Structure 1
Amino acid sequence: MKLLHRQIFKELLKLFGLTVSCLLGLILIGRMLQLRSLFLSQNIGFLNILELFFYLTPFFLLLVAPISTMLSVFLTFLRMSTDNELTALKANGVSLYRMLPAPVFFCVLSMLFTFFIAMWGLAWGMDMFKTSLYEFARSQSRFALQPGVFNKEFPGITFYAHQVNNETGELKFAFVRDQSIDGASVVVVAPEARVISSPESAEVRIIFSRGKIFRQNDDELNVLRFGSYSIRLDLAELLGGYNFGEEKAKDMTFAQLSRIRQDPTLAPYQSEQFMRKVDTEYFKRLTLPLGCLILGMFAIPVAYIFRGLKQQYGLLLAMGLFILYYSMFSIGVSMGEGGSIPPVYGLWAPNVLYVMVAAVGIRFANQERSLPLVQWLAHLRNWRRSGA
């Protein structure tokens, strides 16, 4: 039995690694264009986008780990069923219950790994993502002005400087035209200016020295001399509206979510909607890791009982059950954040349902009995064949 458990566990690990790699690869391909479009024409390289994706990996793993666990268990037992290994083991007195230690141990490890991501890894990844995103925008974007070139990266604002030192941020003969004000056009001209970045506030300031401001309202033109004048630019505009300062529930650690639920005055936003998001995120961090264990156990009877059907039918049915689980979970998240139902009910409902089905399914599988649904599908297949 030790040899059997070891072989099952090895196969589960291989399939888990393969499944996670494939799913993350597909997500990477889908997100590459999104991350690239985030910077539009900014000078951000391919390796920088890969670094940003690495910091987003904990967020993706929280969603990918449960389905990867279920697929690994399902494909392992489906192969054993197709190769008649389960039949041979049954003939030698090895029941399904005696084969459970390996998949249970594997599912528990996957659950603990996902719990680690949910409790600490997710918040770390989002913090690093924000920090790196800001740093790339500050140091590597084309907002680092080029001498003699008009820069229009910010909507409604045009920059120009005759001489530029991007290392010190000093500008000579600087010109700015601001058309973001309705009904007015403002032009700032100065012999000297300086660009200063503020990582704490996620903004860029351009400080002009000893210049003039030309403000035109319809046919009226006003000219104002100044000794020092500052323009504040929000990097969120440069990054397609990404808000660095906004605190989101999904970016917090599990400990922060717990403290806010116990003491709502600690919340950065005193609103009912934000508290609903905190509650929803809190239960999401609990239910998704437990989903690894529940979905893994659910996959065993799916692969074992449906061995009478063809492999492609069983795989399609299993994928349909995956989609059903995540659909129920997504509906629970939406309704919880919207206030339709308490998040505790909406997010725990899929796990409770699948636990009950898994318990009944394993019992039927150990007795080599088919569920009524499987018998109905088999009858339907035979009826179609006889009709043809």
Structure 2
Amino acid sequence: MKQAFKLQNSILAKYLIRNVLMLTAGVFIVIGLVIFGNQLVLVIKESLEEGIPIADLLPLVSFKMIRDVPLILSLSLFLAIILAVSKSYKDSEAIVMNSLGIGDKHLMVFIQPVVMIILIFILFLTTVAVPWSKQQRSMIMDRSENASEFSFIKEGEFQDFKGGELVFYASKVKEVEGESTQNMEEVFIYTLANGQPIITLATQAQKYTDAETKSVYLRLKDGARYHGFPSTANKKILNFDQYDLQIIDGEKRHNVNTTIKTESKPTLELIFSSKAGEIAEWQWRLSQPVSVFILSIFAIMLGKTSPRGGKNLGVLAGVLVFILYNNALLMAKSSLERGEISPLVGLWWVHLLVLLIIFVFYAYRHGKLSQLISKPF
């Protein structure tokens, strides 16, 4: 009898695993097409704005895809388990399982081979592949920046930068061989300062980078700055022989590069760090595979529905749970980066809170919550 029961469990486990795998693949393809397609559009737009070479487009898209795979795969598995369990209840298969003594605990055990394989794969992605992809992306972006933000300026054409805050025109642009500078002639610049338009005209200009601050400047020669045009109120004209106009703030660029550098560091290096930002980063990397295991347990209970229940209720609840869970992890990560919470608490409190919710939900679904509340301590 026991051998027959084990055989039945084996058949049911394989059946459930097959359904979960097929649904995971289907959901991943659907979500992936939407997100990856959007990423492709954003990268192309970014490349046009920042002058990234076309040859770097495909690598940048690939690196962004690697970054998003852990989140998409985690969501796909979570929804797939909900759909697979829900389907078994809709088709009354779960009722037969329950009559054989197979409940939620057994289903949780049945799906663990799939969960563990995907968990290990996501762990590899978050701790190795994603940091590497961010490092490679940073190298491409740095190379593009070092090649100069203005290296793709077209002679005789008006072009806008900084989201339209700066309009630039140069009749001639000459590259200086062996140097990261450019010489320009007959320059026109339109900018806004405190809501007031400023027009700058110069006969010559040269782009250079300050060695200390890393800020990028345009050194304008023999020109004039017109404040307040085209209105006549508070109109000012400033003639100059030489004027340095800051194009890129080196401090802001340094802060961005520091964040990227932390995200691209090896996980082992971060684990032994005492910096709040680096501690938050490695805890975030480990939290994603941990959440896969926790969500797989939650998915079993969310998929358990009545044959007459709403078809998509479990999926909608699952999406809401997934969003809240990940947002809570992101908020905990930000708090840890700012030093507002202890590294011992870190992101782990979010996982413990979700486990507590699962325990209460499980007790409620099985009629044990009232017993736990009334039980004296």
Aligned runs of 1:27-176 on 2, under 5 Å?
27-32=35-40, 34-39=42-47, 41=49, 49=57, 51-92=59-100, 94=102, 96-135=104-143, 143-149=151-157, 153=161, 158=168, 160=170, 162=172, 174-176=185-187
Task: Please state whether the residue corresponding to 2:258 is helix, strand or coil.
Answer: coil
Cα shift at 1:22? 2.5
Confirm or deny: 8 A CA contact 2:36 2:65 kept in the other structure. Answer: no
Residue identity over aligned pairs, in percent, reads 15
Alignment partner, residue 31 of structure 2: 23
The letter of the residue matching 1:298 is F
Task: Please state whether the residue corresponding to 1:311 is helix, strand or coil.
Answer: coil
Alignment partner, residue 260 of structure 1: 273
Distance 1:308 1:91 in 2: 19
Is residue 259 of structure 2 the alignment partner of residue 251 of structure 1?
no
Alignment partner, residue 313 of structure 2: 313
Judged with a 3 Å threshold, the aligned counterparts in structure 2 of structure 1 residues 99 and 150 are, in CA distance, closer, same or farther, namely closer
Confirm or deny: 8 A CA contact 1:202 1:244 kept in the other structure. Answer: no
Confirm or deny: 8 A CA contact 1:159 1:177 kept in the other structure. Answer: yes
Alignment partner, residue 232 of structure 2: none
Alignment partner, residue 187 of structure 1: 202
- TM, length-normalised to structure 1: 0.66
Query: Could you report, residue by residue, the CA deviation over 1:221-247 in whole angstroms, capped at 9, with x for unpaired residues?
Result: 5658xxxxx99975999xx97976434
Cα shift at 1:336? 2.9
Structure 2: gaps of 5 or more residues = 1-6, 226-235, 371-377
The letter of the residue matching 1:187 is A
Alignment partner, residue 341 of structure 1: 341
Distance 2:326 2:294 in 1: 13
Cα shift at 1:77? 1.0
Judged with a 3 Å threshold, the aligned counterparts in structure 2 of structure 1 residues 327 and 179 are, in CA distance, closer, same or farther, namely closer
Select between 1-10 and 70-79 the one with higher mean Cα deviation. Answer: 1-10
Task: Please state whether the residue corresponding to 2:345 is helix, strand or coil.
Answer: helix
Select between 118-127 and 7-16 the one with higher mean Cα deviation. Answer: 7-16
Alignment partner, residue 286 of structure 1: 286
- TM, length-normalised to structure 2: 0.68
Confirm or deny: 8 A CA contact 1:204 1:232 kept in the other structure. Answer: yes
The letter of the residue matching 1:26 is V
Distance 2:27 2:80 in 1: 7
Cα shift at 1:144? 2.8
Distance 2:184 2:150 in 1: 19
Confirm or deny: 8 A CA contact 1:305 1:370 kept in the other structure. Answer: no
Distance 1:162 1:354 in 2: 62
CA RMSD of superposed structures (Å)? 4.8
Cα shift at 1:78? 1.0
Confirm or deny: 8 A CA contact 2:108 2:296 kept in the other structure. Answer: no
Structure 1: gaps of 5 or more residues = 225-229, 265-274, 374-388
Judged with a 3 Å threshold, the aligned counterparts in structure 2 of structure 1 residues 30 and 158 are, in CA distance, closer, same or farther, namely closer
Distance 2:28 2:148 in 1: 32
Distance 1:108 1:254 in 2: 21
Alignment partner, residue 8 of structure 1: 16
Between the two proteins, the alignment pairs up a number of residues equal to 342
Cα shift at 1:296? 0.4
Judged with a 3 Å threshold, the aligned counterparts in structure 2 of structure 1 residues 173 and 310 are, in CA distance, closer, same or farther, namely closer
Judged with a 3 Å threshold, the aligned counterparts in structure 2 of structure 1 residues 153 and 318 are, in CA distance, closer, same or farther, namely closer
